[in-house]
Amino acid sequence: MADSTYPIPGSVEATPRRWSQAAVLEWLNSWVITVDHKKLGILYMVYAIFFLLVAGGEAIAIRIQLIQPHMHFISPQVFNRLFTMHGTTMVFLVGMTYIFGFANYLIPLMIGARDMAFPRLNAFSFWMTFFGGILLYYSFIGGGGLFGAGNAPDTMWWAYAPLTERAFSPGNAPDYWALSLIITGFGTIGASVNVIATAFCMRCRGMTLMRLPIFVWVNVTASGLALITITPLTAAQIMLLIDRYLGGHFFDTQAGGSAVIWAHFFWIFGHPEVYVLVLPAFAIASEVIPVFSRKAIFGYPAVVAASVGIAFVSLGVWAHHMFTIGMTSVGNSFFVLSTMLVGIPTSIKIFNWLATMWGGKIRFATPMLFATAFVIQFLLAGLTGIMLSVAPWDWQLHNSYFVIAHFHYVLVGAIVFCIFAGIYYWYPKVTGRVMSEKLGKLHFWLFVIGFHVTFDIMHIPGLLGMPRSIYTYEANRGWGTLNMIVSIGGLIQGIAVLIFAVNLIWSYFKGKPAGNDPWDAWTLEWSTPSPPPAYNFATDPVATSRRPLWDIKHPDDPDWKYE
Amino acid sequence: MSTVAVAHAEAEQPWVQPSKGRVAMFCLIIAESAIFTIFVVAYVYNIGKSLYGPTPGQVLEIPFFNSVCLLSSSLTIWLSEHAIERGRIKAFALWWGLTFALGAIFLVGTGLEWYKLIYHDGLTISTNLFGTTFYSLVGLHASHVILGLNALLIVLIFTLTGHVRQEHAERIQVLALYWHFVDAVWIVVFTVVYIIGR
Amino acid sequence: MLAKCLRYVSVTAKCWCWVLALFVWHTAFAEGPQPTPSILDPASTPAHEIYNLSLFVLTITGTIFVTVGGVLAFVVFRFRQRDDDDLTEPAQIYGSNQVELAWTVIPILIVVVLFLTTARMIFAIQDAPPPKTALDVTVVGHQFWWEFNYPKLGIRAVNELHVPVSSAGTPIPTYLKLLSADVIHSFWVPQLSGKIDLIPNNVNGLWIEPLHTGMYVGQCAQFCGVQHAKMLLRVYVDTPEQFAAWVKNQQKVAASDESVAAGRHVFETQACMNCHTIQGTAATGRFGPDLTHLMSRDTLASGAMDNTKENLREWIRHPDTFKEGVLMPAMQLDDQQLDQVTAYLATLK
């Protein structure tokens, strides 16, 4: 697919493959030293998928331990490490990396730029994230070695004080947790700065801010939110390390310190963080749904405003994770209101997606299957979120399996589904080949069935009083059968993800050649060859509307007449 | 299909976008403001909560001289920006060097203050809540001063060896933005620690 | 494509019927032989109020789900690309201000209704003033057991809380003051009330008003360390007579039986008294549970096992058998010492 009019050396297809050792080493080196946004985007995605499989394996181990009461599959110490690492990995090493994988690869292509604003910062950010993750996983072999699961963090992914203080966690587990996340935090800040600077400063001629693809807008919003929200976590972790190593007293209740303030600081980070994770999923859906419905996104200004609104409101809802910590009734009521309010811009987006599909000609290729499932699942997740925002009901549901079901509905049902949609959608652009539709549909149906078996049922033990973070449970509480069903669904999802991994690899070698624009889409990235050459665009494009390629394909009815 | 050549009537007007250096520094400042906010909140929350040990009123002396130095360095850096915009490299070097000196004086002053607190007043980071929150907040600020001074020094060396020219004015302004931020944070820290907290 | 859609719908429908059946089975038979701590089976005033509120919220959210989900199902069916499609693009509609306004205003109204209902209940439950007939209990959370102090009655219970039943004629709610000796815990007995955290250096409050006698289970609901999973909780709601009898027993000091003097000697010399209290003896340790009325409890080690002599002996010999990682060390007693000390503890009724 090399650009035949401008044979520039260095474009991906130009050199024939020769598997000599020198060539292989040179190829590996090119990945290590690269500052090209496309390569870094791929590195982020490979990293994310790798850790998705690792953390998924941790989840399978957890579900086997819980499949029946009083199982002895793993010890309590190992179980506690597994669920802490599962959560930490999924949020920081999968969630934060998929965001920048998609953003780095696609934003310059969508805005007609040659690369991100700061290519070297881009590389720096990736490698900081990479090494932070390595440090986190080193904890399994540091200290007590693999069998006793070493010093892997074991205090839940929110690491509440004072359990994490030296008195109650004498090993190094909280230290690995804090240090590795401080390091990945630097990576996140760098990548967020890069995304914002690129979107504001590197747009091609004609691409005003109100012509940016929704994908870019929403990623900019997520990055801006990340800037504000990651550093509170860094601050809290620095305070924890000061307590643990320098004898500080931030969370030392014996010296007058406060355990509650850790919870406040953590959730001031933690709640906006989940919006940082989910907004890029909305970004992907907002590109996939219009293309496969054959219609422009309904209400572009409203969708942009709603996304930015979500980011702002989400900064004021954090204590809905703390309804049981003993705030005053006024405090509780405030957070009930703010949490319910954040549901409004979110529901506006759902309605806009539905309106986009309404009156269209929907093609249910694999990306659209995942995007459609995403819409209904995200709706349900939002509704269980509203249930949890009702503080008195939350006094029952907090820290139960109902909450786990709710947030997995968002994280898996919304985010992972959109990640799959995005990968199926853009894989042809990245590799030049379309993924297998047969395997894709098999992956989809297995995964959606497994997802619902697990996470629909999982709400019930929560309603029946089962708390979270427990390595086993009593046989006479009526939770055994339900847990077994949940675990089986987890295994089904695992099989589906393996099929996906097979599809990724098979399609690279045997997939149908894609051409520039296999989906008949309308944003600028589809005007380049697949995969794009290193320089992206031979001549700087000019954007004439929100859908530049629609204007070319429909010169009699271009978008700019209606904007 | 080769890359699409999309030309249109809009090609005549100049296409202006914000400077990426400024946008990036602005974003960094937002992130840094968030971290300082959390440490300030921790400090304010813990005022009066120490169960024992020296209190702020007993041991803190208002660092007037240090603060004046640091805040003046904002003025000198502004003057140096002014100079380089007009291509007056020597004047630039002078004001820039002065900025560095004033920042260094601030840092030395902070060090002396800490020496007194640790060795004469017995206040360390592990003494009590006041010690923990004081050293971490003031220390966080001081670490940002050190980072700033590093950057200032590198630019100073480049200037004295003749590598800095008028065309670098914008980059200098981006760096100066960081320095102004550090000074602004000091105003907040100073107010919280030495005025409200005492 | 139609076949696929129908297949999806039928699979989903089957799954949901299954779910519903399980749901109904569990809630309908929750009071059976299994003490399922279901929040849908309230037995106390605050739990009832929360349950009623939850039904209201569920109705609203359920309606939203059915409506919007129905729209999606319709869209997926009606606007799919047909096999005989002419491949022209459909009409491009870019937006509509009226529609945007409508679906902004309606959610705002729903939020207002939900918020006002919720706020009213928050104030009703949290700020309810205790009547004079209320029973006061101070709960102290430890890793991994519960301490219950009854200040006005002068007694201390461990892991199993006894409270009198309340009725409309004689309301006797129990007001709990919650503290922690180490890390954050959470007190949760779903059938009696929502949960509240026990935070060191902090005092929280909770009230329950049980309306039916019986035994209600719960457990710690905030991860507190390696044995968080087995920090179980039992609340026995007694008739006033049963409660008075229980209090009277708890107020006695430890039984003194000469036949188990050897065991008592083991207890006092093997460092047990550093952690445990037995009232009426020299043992006044506070780190571990009070053992004065150990045999009056149904379970040992905060619900980890039934209270039998065999379990007790094994627990003392090697606590990790039941609760791996628990803070009580194995004291390396030999068989004779174990038999003696078990025999002694078995007399502490």
Q: What is the pLDDT of residue C3?
A: 52
Q: Mutate which of A156, A338, A390 to disrupt the C interface (most C C-beta within 10 Å)?
A: A390
Q: Per-residue pLDDT for chain A (563 aa), expressed as one digit of tens each?
A: 444 444 445 545 555 556 788 889 999 999 999 999 999 999 999 999 999 999 999 999 999 999 999 999 999 999 999 999 999 999 999 999 999 999 999 999 999 999 999 999 999 999 999 999 999 999 998 876 666 667 899 999 999 999 999 999 988 999 999 999 999 999 999 999 999 999 999 999 999 999 999 999 999 999 999 999 999 999 999 999 999 999 999 999 989 999 999 999 999 999 999 999 999 999 999 999 999 999 999 999 999 999 999 999 999 999 999 999 999 999 999 999 999 999 999 999 999 999 999 999 999 999 999 999 999 999 999 999 999 999 999 999 999 999 999 999 999 999 999 999 999 999 999 999 999 999 999 999 999 999 999 999 999 999 999 999 999 999 989 999 999 999 999 999 999 999 999 999 999 999 999 999 999 999 999 999 999 999 999 999 999 999 999 999 999 989 988 87
Residues 6+ apart with CB under 8 A from A267: A158, A318, A319, A321, A322
In a mutagenesis test of the B interface, which of A205, A258, A525 is the best target, namely the one with the most B β-carbons within 10 Å?
Answer: A205
> Closest Cα of chain C to A119: distance in Å?
36
How many beta carbons lie within 10 A of that of residue A464, not counting itself?
Answer: 26
Residues of A with Cβ-Cβ distance to B30 under 8 angstroms: 224, 227-228
The nearest CA of chain B is from the CA of A519 a distance in Å of 14
C196 touches chain A (CB under 8 A): yes
Which residues of B fall within a CB distance of 8 Å from A196? 23-24, 27
Closest alpha carbon to A162 in A68, A256, A269, A273: A256
- Please give, rounded to a whole number of angstroms, the shortest distance from the CA of A140 to a CA of chain C: 17
Per the domain annotation, does A4 fall within a domain?
A: no
Does the distance separating the beta carbons of A256 and B50 come in below 8 Å?
yes
Q: Which CATH number fits domain B21-49+64-196: 2.60.120.560, 1.20.120.80, 1.40.20.10, 3.40.50.720?
A: 1.20.120.80
Q: How far is CA A443 from the centre of its chain?
A: 19
Whether B38 and chain A come into contact, CB under 8 Å, resolves to yes
Strand runs (DSSP E) across C143-283, as ranges? 145-150, 155-158, 160-164, 174-180, 185-187, 196-198, 204-208, 214-219, 232-238
Would the pTM of this model clear 0.90, i.e. be above it?
yes
DSSP conformation class of A253: G
Model confidence at C35, pLDDT cuts 50, 70, 90, reads confident
Distance of residue B133 Cα from the nearest chain A Cα, in angstroms: 7
Spell out which residues of chain A touch residue B137, defining contact as CB-CB under 8 Å: none
CB spacing of A247 vs B125 below 8 angstroms = yes
Question: CB-based contact (8 Å) between B51 and chain A?
Answer: yes
| Residue B166 near chain A (CB below 8 Å) | no
Residue C98 token pair: 């009226």
Look at A517 and B1 and tell me if their CB atoms are within 8 Å.
Answer: yes
Q: Between the CA of residue A12 and those of A4, A9, A423, what are the distances in Å?
A: 13, 9, 20
In Å, how far are A12, A25, A26, A28, C205 from A21, measured between CA atoms?
Answer: 19, 6, 8, 11, 70
Residue with tokens 């929100």, as numbered in its chain:
A546
Judged by CB atoms closer than 8 Å, whether chains meet at A387 and C196 is answered as no
Residue C16 has pLDDT above 80, yes or no: no
Best probe of the A interface among B13, B27, B137, by most A CBs < 10 A, is: B27
Residue in A closest to C70 by C-alpha: A376
pLDDT for C81 equals 92
Which domain does A330 fall in, by range?
Answer: 21-561
Residue B9 near chain A (CB below 8 Å): no
Neighbours of chain B (3+ CB pairs under 8 A): A
CA distances from A195 to A80, A104, A111, A487, B127 (A): 36, 7, 12, 39, 43
C-beta atoms of B35 and A235 within 8 A: yes
Do A202 and B31 lie within an 8 Å CB cutoff? no
Residue (of A200, A203, A141, A197) closest to A537 by Cα position: A203
A325, A392, A476 member nearest C194 (Cβ): A392
Q: C309 at the A interface (CB within 8 A)?
A: no
DSSP state of B196: I
Contact A249 B129 (CB under 8 A): yes
Are B38 and A268 an interchain contact pair (Cβ–Cβ within 8 Å)?
yes
Residue A462 located in a structural domain: yes
- C308 contacts C295 by C-beta, under 8 angstroms: no
pLDDT score recorded for residue C86: 83
| Partner A contacted by C17 (CB < 8 A) | no
CATH number at residue A299: 1.20.210.10
- What is the bridge-based pairing of β-strands C232-238 and C299-300? unpaired
CA distance to partner chain B, nearest, from residue A512 (Å): 17
CB contact C206 to A (< 8 Å): no
- How crowded is the C-beta side of C115, counted as CA atoms within 13 Å? 19
Is the residue at A5 inside a domain? no
Helix axis angle, A259-293 to A417-431, nearest 10°: 50
Mean pLDDT to the nearest integer, B22-31 = 97
pLDDT at A552 (0 to 100): 92
Nearest to A5 among B2, B49, B136 (CB): B2
Nearest CB to A393 within list C36, C53, C325 = C53
Q: What is the pLDDT of residues C52-85, one digit of tens each?
A: 999 999 999 999 999 999 999 999 999 999 988 8
The separation between CA B14 and the C-alpha centre of its own chain, rounded to angstroms, equals 36
pLDDT score for C25: 53
Instruction: Give the CA distances from residue C35 to residues A428, A477, C161, in Å, rounded to whole numbers and listed in that order.
Output: 55, 6, 16
Contact between A383 and C65 using a beta-carbon 8 Å cutoff:
yes
pLDDT at C23: 58
C94 and chain A: CB distance < 8 Å anywhere? yes
C contact test, residue of A463, A492, A549, A556 with most C CBs within 10 A: A463
Q: Which of A194, A246, A542 sits opposite B126 (nearest CB)?
A: A246
The domains of chain B are located at: 21-49+64-196
Interchain CB distance below 8 Å, C79 and A395? no
List the structure tokens of A222: 């997520």
Q: Is the minimum CB–CB distance between C126 and chain A shorter than 8 Å?
A: yes
Q: What is the pLDDT of residue B1?
A: 39
* Nearest CB to B6; choose among A238, A529, A552: A552
Model confidence band, residue C288 (pLDDT cutoffs 50, 70, 90): very high
Confidence band of B5 (pLDDT split at 50, 70, 90): very low
Q: C32 pLDDT exceeds 50?
A: no
CB contact under 8 A, C126 and A329: yes
Q: Is the pLDDT of residue C97 over 70?
A: yes
pLDDT tens per residue, range B41-76: 999 999 999 999 899 999 999 999 999 999 999 999
Q: What is the pLDDT of residue A210?
A: 94
Residue A2 within a domain? no
**Who wins on pLDDT, C24 or A430?**
A430
The strand pairing partners of C205, in sequence order, are: C177
- This model of the complex carries an ipTM of 0.93
- Sheet of C160-164, strand order: C160-164, C232-238, C214-219
Sort A490 into a burial class: Cβ within 10 Å, 0-12 / 13-18 / 19+.
Answer: buried
C80 touches chain A (CB under 8 A): yes
Cα–Cα distances in Å, from C247 out to A243, B31, C166, C290? 44, 58, 17, 15
With the C-alpha atoms ordered A52, A54, A60, A62, is the resulting torsion angle positive or negative? negative
Q: Return the residue matching tokens 């399922």.
A: C36
Q: Determine the 3-state secondary structure of B121 from DSSP.
A: coil
Look at residue A1 in the predicted model and tell me its pLDDT.
41
Interface test with A, best of C5, C94, C219 (most A CBs within 10 A): C94
Location of structure tokens 């303030």: A261
Q: Give the pLDDT score at B6.
A: 47
Measured torsion, CA atoms of residues B133, B138, B140, B143, in degrees rounded to the nearest 10: -150
Residue A208 falls inside a structural domain: yes
Task: Between A35 and C171, name the one with better pLDDT.
Answer: A35
CB contact under 8 A, B42 and A202: no
Nearest-by-Cβ selection for A347 from C34, C57, C107: C107
Using a CB-CB distance cutoff of 8 angstroms, which residues of chain C are in contact with residue A560? none
Interface test with A, best of B23, B30, B38, B141 (most A CBs within 10 A): B38
Domains: count for chain A: 1
* Cβ pair A397:C114 closer than 8 A: no
In a domain, A53, yes or no: yes
Q: What is the mean pLDDT of chain C?
A: 90
Q: Would you state the pLDDT for residue C8?
A: 58
Beta bridge partners of C145: C142
pLDDT at residue C29 tops 70: no
Helices (H), A252-322: 259-293, 300-314
Helices A214-246 and B129-160: angle between axes, nearest 10 degrees: 120
CB-defined contacts A:C, below 8 A:
297
